[in-house]
Structure 1
Amino acid sequence: MAGLRTTRAGARKWTPSRYRALLRARGPRSVQFRTRIAILMGAVAIGLAATVFAEAADSAGAMFNRYVERHPYAPLVTTPLIFAVLVWLTRRYIPLARGSGIPQVIAAQQDPERATRSLVSIPTVVGKALLTLAAVLGGASVGREGPTVQIAAAVMGLSHRLLRVPLRGAVLIAGGAAGVAAAFNTPLAGLLFAIEELASAYEQRVTLLVIAAIVIAGMVAQSVQGDYVYFGLIGAHMALGPALVAVPVAGVVGGIAGGAFSRLMLTLATGTHRVTRWSKRQPVVFAALCGLVVGALGCATGLTWGTGYSAARAMIVGVDAPLWFGPAKFIATLATAVAGLPGGIFAPSLAVGAGIGNLLRSVFPGSPSSAIVILGMVGYFAGVVRAPLTAVIILSETTVSRGLMLPMFATAFIADGTSALICREKLYHGLSRTFAMR
């Protein structure tokens, strides 16, 4: 009788009605199945979109360089004019496209479904991409990584709408982090950025599908762009003795500079003093003045245009660079960032950090120059973004300097603590308040 009951129980388990219920719950038409497809489809699309945007940005930068070679002083006029036009277009037609793009993704977590029609809508990110490319053509000190994060979140939102599945905040985090992974070819850095910066909490629930989205986006971008390392195979390392001396200095100097950048940015974005009030009353004029600063620095130095990638890579591999590059790039990046036009600060911040590392090379002449420059980059980037784990992993993956991991971690945490003393609020989270959904 016991065997008969077991047989009957098994028969009930696999009745047609139970099978149909299982299909409804987990089959191709189920919400669970469509959610997985939406995330994976979005990840593939993010990898392709990030690749296209990267190629377009590199082409725009090359076009500007050729323009400067032919007309070395023309940017004194054209750069301020382009800044003014881009800010006018942004404020008039796509105000949610201004700035980096990362604060928008952070703010979008309040109401993901509504955000797909505003902060991370397709029209917003298409406009942002075009205006960012225009900023690069104008010589602005901007990067493509921040805009890629906003574009990636919009792509993930679109895939969910197409498959008619609910959109959660964690999925926007996945999309934004997948954009970081695809932009730098650094899947691990994308994952840490999701946990450390976009989610702003280590306890944030990150599912296997979220991790899969980040990895797939990076793999798709890599398969299209090729298996490359962002700054090249540097492989820097440093002995324990010199590291014990260099790390605290790089951490403190990078943290002070990064904290100062964040505080100035937040003061001009959210402050109430006279300069801030005037910049908000006259945004186009203010943008033109910022463009004049960027144009004057670029024409005077010839090095502060664009992302600063070439200069940063040259310093990493040991090429001597002017000691003023770091401060000049700092000013150019700050002037671009506060102007209000679309564009990110990731790549320019790495260039500023390389300039700080270049300054420290003269302080530590007996240490490996590549290692000192990378520590300067880690310190400044961690000081600006206040995401020390992301800073370390990005520099580790973009230079293949795994032998420098412990000094980089120590530098990043010292810089993070130092920066917090100067600017208590994290930069992207402070800026996200200007995009708060009402």
Structure 2
Amino acid sequence: MKGEPDFLQNLRTEMGDGRQWLDRVIVIVYAVLTGLAVVVFTLLADAAFGLYQGLRSTAWWAPLIWTPLLTAAVVWSIRRWAPGAGGSGVPQVLVALAPETPESARHRFVSLRLSLAKIAAVTGGLLAGLSIGRQGPSVQIAAGVMLHARRWLSPRSDISTRELLVAGGAAGIAAAFNTPLGGIVFAIEELSRRLQDRSSGLMLAAIVVAGLVAVSAFGNLSYFGRIRADGVSWWDLMWPGFLVALSAGLLGGLLSRLLLASFMGLPDRFCAYRRKRPVAFAALCGFGVAVIAIITGGEAVGVGHHHTHALLHNPDFDQQLPLVFTGLKFIASWLSAWTGVPGGMFGPSLSIGAGVGADIAWLLDSPHGPALIALGMCGFLAAVTQTPITAMIIVMEMTDGHSMVLSLMACALVSSLVSRMISRPLYSTTALLMMRSLREASVGPAVPGTPPGQTPQDSAPR
């Protein structure tokens, strides 16, 4: 029959092009390097926050001096030497992926140099004791490493710059969460929204390889703990789960809106002072975070996975101060983002969401604390990022119990829907503002609220 594939001819064509296979090997090698970069970043970030906790335990008042000073130093350094390393990292990758972004301007948002600067800046932020995450920055770091492969590929290679950026950014999520499936879903839902047929298999392989490197380094573990919810049906969680989804959607949408408002620069005295004296403003925000750290004994700063771990192993952990952790972690994360120190919102969102679930379990005296904590994590992450499928996959891979799958999916969709009624999508809106500033930089004034000489990525929300 005409049109049927010729196996032998296709095999000769596939195996006969040695340069094509070399290009594939280069991509896989860079996928390994991407995974290793995220592993090193993770170790540095954890070590930095460990040093901060040691300092805080030695002298309870030390954060009041240490946090503002180091926060100001990080902001000053980033603004002076690497403005493209500011912000979360996800919007920068989205800008680099945009077809309207000139090839010559891509290095301002994603490059190997910016990846190294990002690692140093986020590590400095965690050493300062800010409430920031490392998962969002891992997207920009990994994309910068993977994009570096472009210089070694054949000029006639079918592997495009766009595909390298998508694979790198998704590999960052896969390695940061030890969830290769989560990275693939993130690539489709947030970064690409489509995959090219010609090399999608190779790009998916690169994402999986980067994730497996992290699994090999740290084992098949979750930084936020394992969620044991066997025997819990969707019927048991219907009413309390809806309350968790609604609360997470409202709070997550509010946080997203606050971050966007802070980034765009409102006509108030706080934003005016930040535009005039960004380093001093960062120090003041750092002082506020330090006060919260002292009040909570260090629980409401950092990524937040230690507190989430404690909640999952002992749902009564926060009953001594119900609602307090969630509120203070929310404020600390907003202030940390407002400083301008690079950092992500994935980790803090999961931590705040765990607090929401634990608070609802306490208010309703529910026996299903771990399940409600899982729903809170999923719902709040979906609300802040407005990527419900990615949020569901990430939390699902932490959960021991297939009965939770439908509940997690429903919670993510409801929370994301509620968030969309309150706030525009955080990452895509930030990326649009960055692209607008990029266009206006050569013909006119920058985006309203952006100080002279400062690009939007300097202050991009997490």
Q: How far did residue 433 of structure 1 move?
A: 2.9
> Equivalent residues in 2 for 1:51-90 (5 A)?
51-90=39-78
CA shift digits 1:150-198 (9 cap, x unpaired): 1100111111213355643232111101110011100111111111112
Q: Distance in 2 between matches of 1:326 and 1:57?
A: 23
Note if 1:229 corresponds to 2:222.
yes
Q: Distance in 1 between matches of 2:136 and 2:421?
A: 25
Contact 1:121 1:154 in 2 (8 A): yes
Q: How far did residue 94 of structure 1 move?
A: 0.6
In 2 relative to 1, CA 355–168 (structure 1 residues): closer, same or farther, beyond 3 Å? same
Residue in structure 1 matched with residue 251 of structure 2 by the alignment: 257
Q: How far did residue 43 of structure 1 move?
A: 1.0
Q: Distance in 2 between matches of 1:75 and 1:277?
A: 26
Q: How far did residue 45 of structure 1 move?
A: 0.8
Residue in structure 2 matched with residue 91 of structure 1 by the alignment: 79
Q: How far did residue 285 of structure 1 move?
A: 1.7
Residue in structure 2 matched with residue 177 of structure 1 by the alignment: 170
> Equivalent residues in 2 for 1:232-247 (5 A)?
232-237=225-230, 238-247=232-241
Identity %: 37
Residue type of the alignment partner of 1:286: F
In 2 relative to 1, CA 113–162 (structure 1 residues): closer, same or farther, beyond 3 Å? farther
Note if 1:305 corresponds to 2:293.
no
Contact 1:116 1:157 in 2 (8 A): no
Q: Distance in 1 between matches of 2:353 and 2:206?
A: 30
Contact 1:230 1:399 in 2 (8 A): no
Residue in structure 2 matched with residue 293 of structure 1 by the alignment: 288
Residue in structure 2 matched with residue 421 of structure 1 by the alignment: 421
Residue in structure 2 matched with residue 137 of structure 1 by the alignment: 127
Residue type of the alignment partner of 1:196: E
Q: Which of 230, 234, 242 lines up with 1:248 in the alignment? A: 242
Q: Which of 186, 192, 196 lines up with 1:193 in the alignment? A: 186
Residue type of the alignment partner of 2:66: T
Q: How far did residue 401 of structure 1 move?
A: 4.1
**SS class of match (2:131):** coil
Residue in structure 2 matched with residue 5 of structure 1 by the alignment: none
Q: How far did residue 38 of structure 1 move?
A: 3.2
Residue type of the alignment partner of 1:315: L
CA shift digits 1:258-283 (9 cap, x unpaired): 00000000011014422434322221
Residue in structure 1 matched with residue 3 of structure 2 by the alignment: none
Unaligned segments of structure 2, at least 5 residues: 1-5, 440-462
Note if 1:33 corresponds to 2:21.
yes
Contact 1:231 1:399 in 2 (8 A): no
CA shift digits 1:264-311 (9 cap, x unpaired): 000110144224343222211221111011011001111112111110
Contact 1:38 1:160 in 2 (8 A): no
Q: Distance in 1 between matches of 2:176 and 2:316?
A: 25
Q: How far did residue 34 of structure 1 move?
A: 4.3
Q: Distance in 2 between matches of 1:380 and 1:233?
A: 18
Residue in structure 1 matched with residue 343 of structure 2 by the alignment: 343
**SS class of match (1:73):** coil
Contact 2:223 2:305 in 1 (8 A): no
Residue type of the alignment partner of 1:172: L
Q: Distance in 1 between matches of 2:376 and 2:227?
A: 15
Q: Which of 304, 315, 320 lines up with 2:317 in the alignment? A: 320
In 2 relative to 1, CA 328–114 (structure 1 residues): closer, same or farther, beyond 3 Å? same
Q: Distance in 2 between matches of 1:276 and 1:346?
A: 25
Contact 1:63 1:137 in 2 (8 A): yes
Q: How far did residue 113 of structure 1 move?
A: 4.6
Q: Distance in 2 between matches of 1:330 and 1:244?
A: 26
Residue type of the alignment partner of 2:143: A
Q: How far did residue 115 of structure 1 move?
A: 5.4
**SS class of match (1:422):** coil
Q: Distance in 1 between matches of 2:16 and 2:171?
A: 26
CA shift digits 1:236-275 (9 cap, x unpaired): 1422332211222111110000000000000110144224
Residue in structure 1 matched with residue 444 of structure 2 by the alignment: none
Q: How far did residue 319 of structure 1 move?
A: 4.1
Unaligned segments of structure 1, at least 5 residues: 1-9
Q: What TM-score, normalized to structure 1?
A: 0.89
**SS class of match (2:371):** helix
Q: Distance in 1 between matches of 2:334 and 2:274?
A: 14
- Greater Cα offset, 368-377 or 266-275: 266-275
Q: Distance in 1 between matches of 2:221 and 2:186?
A: 21
Q: How far did residue 361 of structure 1 move?
A: 0.9
Residue type of the alignment partner of 1:53: F
Q: How far did residue 398 of structure 1 move?
A: 2.5
Q: How far did residue 102 of structure 1 move?
A: 0.8
Q: Please, what is the CA RMSD of the aligned residues?
A: 2.2
- Greater Cα offset, 282-291 or 111-120: 111-120
Residue in structure 1 matched with residue 140 of structure 2 by the alignment: 150
In 2 relative to 1, CA 364–122 (structure 1 residues): closer, same or farther, beyond 3 Å? same
Q: How far did residue 74 of structure 1 move?
A: 1.0
The total of aligned residue pairs comes to 415
Contact 1:136 1:306 in 2 (8 A): yes
Q: Distance in 2 between matches of 1:295 and 1:433?
A: 33
Q: How far did residue 407 of structure 1 move?
A: 0.7
CA shift digits 1:71-117 (9 cap, x unpaired): 11111111111111111111111111111111111111124854553
**SS class of match (1:413):** helix
Q: How far did residue 26 of structure 1 move?
A: 5.6
Contact 2:379 2:412 in 1 (8 A): yes
Residue type of the alignment partner of 2:51: M
